[in-house]
Amino acid sequence: MLLSLFALLNSCGSLPSFARNQSIPYDCFAPGDVYNDTDGNLIQAHGGQISQYTYQENGETVTKYVWIGEDRKNGYYAEVNAYSSTDLYNWDFEGTILKRVPSMEAIDEDSYFNSLYSSLTLREREDLLKAIGPTSVIERPKLLYNAKNDNYVLWFHQDGYSSVNDYYRYGTGNAAVAVSDSIFGPYRFIASHRLNYVTDGFNANPNSLGEARDMNLFLDDDNQAYIVYTSENNKSLFISRLNEDYTDLAVPASLAKEGEDFTRIFPNAMREAPVLTKYDGRYYLMSSSTTGWMSNSARVYSSDTIFGKYVNDGNPCVGNGKMVTFDTQSTSIFKYGEQYIYLGDRWDSQDLRDSRYVFLPITFEDAKMQIRYYSKWNLKGERI
């Protein structure tokens, strides 16, 4: 026992944060610590997603973890970055996979944007600039591989000033989609739209149907994909089925039926930052409350079926810091073998670029998700 604690302190626990850089490969998770990529630059993948993919790299088939997320090096106006890793500790920067279009001229004059968007009409170019232009909001990007089309589909929360709301940065409330044949892009924006809604009189925001803000994706065992999002002015969570291409709703919002094509979970509960995962056949939907960039208490809803009756399992966090999710907000849950891992953002609203990442192991006890805090831990099961 003493020996293994000593080994852990030597390999990980005794390293001061400034030593955890490119010259010494990481061999553990240190929640909230400075986290550099293998070039020694601060990892920029906030509000992100980690998942394992098999893809072609230099003519070879490789299986790696891929982390995509918001590049906040310019503060508010994010683009989407990608990183890859074989061990989940050390991450290679793979580039900016979704870039915002700087101007109308760039579509003609910049070869990067010209190759993606030259065929668009003037109207479509205007829509493109509204969606991913200089002042658009791009948040919480999430990625799926689509086996039917052998391509990659990137969804994100797309927002910005709307024609009726020119003072509020989140006046649009859309979900947007971009596609690429290669996992590391470039991704071509194709659409930004509202999603499913209810009109039964209980809609918390009936004048703005189908809003989508914080969002996530979920791929079920049968390859059916779903988009999970907060709607109704951040008051109600929805899960909607996507089409076979994963690029749109399975059924247009005007025709979609609650319970068949989508579900609305705990209306008015004011939850955001949704992450859906499945353990032992049961669906677990983790979310935060809605307090801007400030941490708050997480909650898990669970159900035996994806559109079924979700029950409130309460706060999954255990121990000191549980009331503020260990000063994080949920963004991704992924698996390393049989180990489920939580990834949360520790936002710094004054300097979004320096927002930190918190990786923590998840356990399931009596069919309830639980997250405990460790200041250092590794995938060999050592935790302090």
Binding site for ligand DGJ (CB under 6 A): 47, 139-140, 214, 272-273, 292-293, 329
Least Cβ distance, residue 69 to ligand DGJ (angstroms): 11
Min dist CB 332 to ligand DGJ, Å, is: 13
Q: Provide the 3-class DSSP secondary structure of residue 177.
A: strand
Smaller CB separation from ligand DGJ, 320 or 349: 349
CB-CB contact of 312 with 299 (8 Å): yes
Q: Which is nearer to ligand DGJ, 137 or 178 (CB)?
A: 137
**Please, what is the Cα angle at 181 between 175 and 182, to 5 degrees?**
100
For 118, 128, 191, 251, 323, the CA distances from 121, given in Å and listed in that order, are 8, 10, 14, 27, 50
Whose CB is nearest to ligand DGJ?
Answer: 292
Nearer Cβ to ligand DGJ, position 146 or 289?
289
Least separation in angstroms between CB 54 and ligand DGJ: 29
Which bin fits 206, alpha (ψ -120 to 50), beta or left (φ > 0)? Answer: alpha
Question: Cβ closer to ligand DGJ: 69 or 316?
Answer: 69
CA dist 359 and 32 (Å) reads 8
User: Smallest distance, Å, CB 371 to ligand DGJ?
Assistant: 18
Cβ at position 287, least distance to ligand DGJ in Å: 10
Annotate 276-332 with DSSP letters as a single string. EEEETTEEEEEEEE--TTS----EEEEESSTTS--EEEE--EESTTGGGTTT-EEEE
Q: Which is nearer to ligand DGJ, 331 or 378 (CB)?
A: 331
- Residue carrying the six token digits 């990067």: 112
Q: How far is the CB of 355 from ligand DGJ (least distance, A)?
A: 10
* 33 versus 214: smaller Cβ distance to ligand DGJ: 214
How far is residue 374's CA from residue 202's CA, in Å, rounded to a whole number? 42
Residue 28 or residue 195: which is nearer to ligand DGJ going by CB? 195
Closest CA to 30 of 379, 378, 382: 378
In whole angstroms, the minimum distance from the beta carbon of 24 to ligand DGJ comes to 32
Using alpha carbons, select from 255, 259, 265, 257 the residue that is nearest to residue 232. 265
